[in-house]
Structure 1
Amino acid sequence: MRISATVSGLLPGERCRLLVRTVTGERILAGGWVVSPAAPRDDAVTVQATALVAPEDIAAIQVENTEGVLLASVPA
């Protein structure tokens, strides 16, 4: 499945991951990026990612930092 996610409110320099959480609770890494150190906090970033999961098996799309802190979650 292809995913396009637009996220704002991240800290400059933050290392982020885009995850797919399935209905069974599995967490699948779909992509990652580092927020530009020069980016204002209210700037939005659009991330393109892919995950090998059927759309009907997706419970949520989540963004977390590399320390595992959940930054955003959108239910499917």
Structure 2
Amino acid sequence: MGLPLGIVLHEVKHGAVELASPRVVFPTVIWVFYLVLLAFRLVTGLRGKIPSYMAVCGFHAVPMSLVFELFLAGA
């Protein structure tokens, strides 16, 4: 709910929203990853190492997306 709300509020405040910008793409990819992780755990009933490794990878993707966003914004 946060991403769509942020897009709408940005459009109201600043005008058109560029959906292909890194500020929209990276968080969307991370949220889709977490959605897949949740669905994977619910469907397979898998507990243990594999889902925990996937969660750690998703957690590390958040600061990496911030770094990539700042790097691409400066370019």
User: Which structure is larger by alpha-carbon Rg, 1 or 2?
Assistant: 2
TM more than 0.5 = no
Interval containing the TM-score (normalised by the shorter chain): under 0.3
Query: Which protein, 1 or 2, shows the higher relative CO under an 8 Å CA cutoff with sep ≥ 6?
Result: 1
Higher strand share: 1
TM-score, structure 1 as length reference: 0.23
Higher helix share: 2
TM-score, structure 2 as length reference: 0.23
